[in-house]
Amino acid sequence: MNNGYAKALNVVGWLVMVAGIIGSFILGSNFGAVVCIAGILSSVIFALVLLGLGEIIYQLDASRGLLRQLLDKPVTVEIKDAVGKKKDEATNSKDELPEL
């Protein structure tokens, strides 16, 4: 990853997941299984949100770089008619419109 924000969110997401699961087991031993399960689910959901946000930032940064590369290239457009001959002008409205 080239983006620092995306990398930081991924690291924090994994830390939240690991620390939340370990902390939930510690709290679950003192307060019961319901607290353990609730802690595990909440830490996994929050970690997945952070990981997903990091991935979104990474993908947006990658697509912005790709778009920048595409826009830097010169674009040439050839206009051909149905037979395959090149036309001189983009629109030739004189041939298409009926005379009044």
Contact 54, 13 (CB under 8 A): yes
DSSP 8-state secondary structure symbol assigned to residue 79: -
Residue 92 has pLDDT above 50, yes or no: no
Contact 58, 4 (CB under 8 A): no
Question: What residue has token string 């990981």?
Answer: 51
> Distance between CA atoms of 74 and 56, rounded to whole angstroms?
29
- pLDDT band of residue 1 (cuts 50, 70, 90) is very low
Q: What is the pTM of this model?
A: 0.63
54-71 burial, b at 16+ Cβ within 10 Å, e below that, comes to beebbeeeeeeeeeeeee
Q: Give the residue-averaged pLDDT of 71-96.
A: 60
DSSP 27-42: HHHHH-HHHHHHHHHH
| Among 89, 98, 3, 7, CA closest to 51 | 7
